[in-house]
Amino acid sequence: MLAKGFILGKDAINKTKSIDERLQLTSNASSAVASIDHKIGLSDKLSIGTTIVNEKVKEMDERYQLSGMTKSAIAVAEEKASIAGSAIMSNSYVLTGASWLSNAFSVVAKAAEDVSTMTMEKVEQAEVEKKEIIYSERKGTVDEYAQMNFEDSLNGGPAVVPVNSENDSKVGNFLT
């Protein structure tokens, strides 16, 4: 089912791309947005607003020294986390649980990899089957057409090839 859904989605995306290329929806929308932006100057206004906000942030940081306090708070938190992590990992129960959890994640990752591999194989198989179906449908149509025309030519009698034509003199000159 995943493979068939993937193929269906892939076909839908390709059809959407071809419609977009034919009708030029994306390029028309982009040019309309650029035109509106040019008329009202939205990009310039946003750029100026961003600059003003950045200046205010720098001013507040310089006044209250927020970045320095934040850096020292982060350093203290990292040190406390490291100490706590060491204490926790020295506990045998926690170490056993962490090992079990790591193994469980490995098993799940392996299963996900296997499912992914099988899905890709199914996608390839579905694409081959789709091509075979299209080929057999086209072959059937061609065979039916040939059969109808073959039967029509048999009903009309054997094919007649003219013996004399306007080009006989050219052919004769060519052969001599």
Instruction: Report the C-alpha gap between 176 and 173 in whole angstroms.
Output: 5
* Contact criterion met (CB below 8 Å) for 55 and 49: no
How confident is the model at residue 158, as a pLDDT? 57
Q: Give the C-alpha separation, 112 to 122, whole Å.
A: 15
For the stretch 160-174, pLDDT in tens is 555 565 655 555 555
Say how far apart CA 18 and CA 11 lie, in whole Å.
11
Task: Tell me what pLDDT residue 156 has.
Answer: 58
**Structure token digits, residue 84:** 């706590």
pLDDT exceeds 80 at position 157: no
pLDDT at 18: 92
What are the tens digits of pLDDT across the range 109-150? 898 888 888 888 888 888 898 889 889 988 888 888 888 777
Q: Please give the pLDDT value at position 59.
A: 86
What are the tens digits of pLDDT across the range 41-87? Answer: 888 888 888 889 888 888 888 888 888 888 888 899 999 988 988 88
